[in-house]
Structure 1
Amino acid sequence: MPFPDELGQVVVVEYRPEWPTEFEQLAGRLRQSLAGLAVAVDHVGSTSVPGLPAKDCVDVQVRMDSIDEVRDIPLLAAIGFRCRPEPWNRMEVSAGHHCRKLVFAPPIGARRCNVHLRESTGPNARFALLFRDYLRADETARRSWGAFKQRLALSVPDLSDYGQIKAPATEVLMEGAERWAAATGWQPRDV
């Protein structure tokens, strides 16, 4: 759920070429704050896919060897990031496995983003990378997914409702992504 200073309505905009640069700025701050604890810092989510309409909120995945709330929350809080308290921002199911994670909101007044800390070998980290790489590679899937999100945001602008409707559609999208991964021999990379 958004913090009070964050917008609650979903607006999907056309792809913006500045998103990769904004990710790099965020990634640099996170690498510095996590002082070598991050295995990799990835630009994930829709803003990481050139040509894909998205909410203007950069998603960052920080892959860690392990997640330690006692260590990780204060490290990011020291630079203003706020740990999202909801249970779904601490655990997610991916490939049938319960996976630990932590999700952080940006400092108040900073560029909108979500920072996802995930264990580097977890299926949820793989999921985020596969989502990105599949949509980068498959133009038809990218166009269809973008059009779906635009229509959904127009008819269901409430963030919670939008997310509940998008979740099962994402599972359908990812079935295609898994077929693509098997056909191409895709493996996650540190990019």
Structure 2
Amino acid sequence: MTKIELVDYQSNWPNEFQAIKSQLTTTLGALAVQIDHIGSTAVHGLAAKDIIDIQVSVKALDDPKIIELLVAAGYEFKEDINRDNLVGYEPDDSELSKLYFREPTGTRTAHIHVREIGRVNQSYPLLFRDFLRDNEIIKQAYGQIKIELAQRFEGDMDAYYAIKDPYMDSLFYAANLLQKKRDN
């Protein structure tokens, strides 16, 4: 049983992201179009699991060099984690496809999400992160929900995510609508 443990925001998270980003940049070179710090550790002041979430955006998800290079650098490829979930999309929609890796043994805990640039699951974490960064009250509300869920379901990861994920999707869609209004 995995316990859900949230910690207060840590000021070293951005620097830890930069160190991992540097390693990924060296490993992937031009295959990595963009490397971003995502998830709660990327939002100043937000409690989070002490895991650095990183998104590597690539031109083509099916390029075999991505897996080859990351595995050769010691990253653990998790073949069974190959999609995201998003309300409003079918589970097998290509917009949700990804590659997922864990950190090399003995290094800082990190989740590496490789997604194809331009797909909805690639824009989601960036829009979501920026929405929280730009909206203090929404960030606080999201933080409260995470803390409450972690306390109520500390040993039940499925229950934690069954409630947290649709809430996140709602915020994503709201942020998306706001972005479209700004762009028009």
Report the TM-score, using the length of structure 2 for normalisation: 0.89
Select 2:175's aligned residue among 174, 177, 188: 177
**In 1, Cα distance between equivalents of 2:94 and 2:131:** 23
Aligned pairs for 1:140-159 (under 5 A) are 140-157=137-154, 158-159=156-157
Aligned CA distance change for structure 1 residues 76 and 68 (closer, same or farther; 3 Å): same
Aligned CA distance change for structure 1 residues 114 and 52 (closer, same or farther; 3 Å): same
Post-superposition CA distance 1:146-187 (Å, at most 9, x none): 11101111111233332222111112222322233234339x
Name the structure 2 match of 1:57. Answer: 51
Name the structure 2 match of 1:160. Answer: 158
Select 2:83's aligned residue among 83, 91, 106: 91
Name the structure 1 match of 2:104. Answer: 107
Select 1:79's aligned residue among 45, 51, 73: 73
Name the structure 1 match of 2:14. Answer: 20
Name the structure 1 match of 2:34. Answer: 40
Question: Which SS does the other structure have where 2:10 is aligned?
Answer: coil
How far off its partner does 1:119 sit? 0.4
Question: Which SS does the other structure have where 2:94 is aligned?
Answer: strand
Aligned length: 178
CA contact (8 A) 1:44 1:132 kept: yes
How far off its partner does 1:69 sit? 6.0
CA contact (8 A) 1:82 1:104 kept: yes
Structure 1: segments with no counterpart, 5+ residues:
1-6, 187-191
Which 4+ stretches in 1 moved above 4 angstroms?
none
Name the structure 1 match of 2:23. Answer: 29
How far off its partner does 1:64 sit? 0.1
CA contact (8 A) 2:35 2:56 kept: yes
Q: Which has the higher helix share?
A: 2
**In 1, Cα distance between equivalents of 2:182 and 2:140:** 20
Identity of aligned residues (%): 34
Structure 2: segments with no counterpart, 5+ residues:
none
Post-superposition CA distance 1:65-123 (Å, at most 9, x none): 0112632222111121111232xx21235563433210111122211110000001111
CA contact (8 A) 1:134 1:180 kept: no
- Of the structure 1 ranges 125-134 and 158-167, higher mean CA displacement relative to structure 2 is found in 158-167
Q: Which amino acid aligns with 1:176?
A: A
Question: Which SS does the other structure have where 1:104 is aligned?
Answer: strand
**In 2, Cα distance between equivalents of 1:109 and 1:69:** 27
CA contact (8 A) 1:61 1:118 kept: yes
Report the TM-score, using the length of structure 1 for normalisation: 0.85
Q: Which has the higher strand share?
A: 1
Name the structure 1 match of 2:121. Answer: 124
Aligned CA distance change for structure 1 residues 61 and 151 (closer, same or farther; 3 Å): same
